[in-house]
Amino acid sequence: MALQESWNTDEDAVGSVEPTVWRCQTFLAGSNYSIEEIKWLVYREFTPGTVTVSIRATDEITGKPTGGDLTVDTKNGNNFTENVNGTWRGVQFSSPYELTGGVTYAIVARSADVRVFWHQDTTGPVYTDGKSGYSSDGGNTWTMTDSTTNLFETYGTAVAGDIVLEGTIAGTAALSGTLSSISTLTGTIAASAVLSGNILFTNVLHKSNIHTVKRLVAVGNNEVWYEDV
């Protein structure tokens, strides 16, 4: 498990996390990895009780969290420090979720009671691959901003999916050996002669067409016939 995405410096403000006031921070997955833990810089006021932190998808147009929890875990917020400087607290997901590189996800936090404060950077430069947001109705609607970043770190283990191959592979002679794609292969593979060896995909083979041009050969009566099929 290794550090993947983060914005962990320049804290100068805080945002509250409460039963109906939820907070989120979106982030762009830089590669395919299985997210196992997030860390956030927080402190508590009073007794917030159970604090729930999850990963959710985001809407491609609005950038807001959408859908249910992809993975989720809870912590006892009463154990958080009351020191306003906060401490980095880890949330370990018992069911790690595989993120896709180039896709934006959201860290979503809420508490059972008042109150947790999540440290923020509001002065910039702030994190440019995501937005922070809050919901005052328990996650039903969100207000997002790219001028504030809730400090965070994501941790996970790299998985197949760091290569995206698009377009056309055209072989006018022979394509042999091993073609290994650990993410997404789209478009057309066209070989006008020989395609041999192994094509290995550890994730997704998308559309479009994989074409191989084969030659049927027949010999007889001192003549050779062939036809491309």
Taking 60 as the threshold, does the pLDDT of residue 93 lie above it?
yes
Burial class (CB in 10 A: 0-12, 13-18, 19+), 178: exposed
Cα separation, 97 vs 99, in Å, equals 6
Q: pTM, whole model, 2 decimals?
A: 0.71
Taking 50 as the threshold, does the pLDDT of residue 194 lie above it?
no
Task: pLDDT band for 170, please (50, 70, 90 cuts).
Answer: low
**Residue ranges of domains in the chain:** 2-158, 164-228
Q: What is the mean pLDDT of residues 166-194?
A: 47
Topology of domain 2-158, CATH:
Jelly Rolls (2.60.120)
Which sign, positive or negative, has the C-alpha torsion 107, 113, 119, 123? positive
Taking 70 as the threshold, does the pLDDT of residue 212 lie above it?
no
Higher pLDDT pick, 223 / 143 = 143
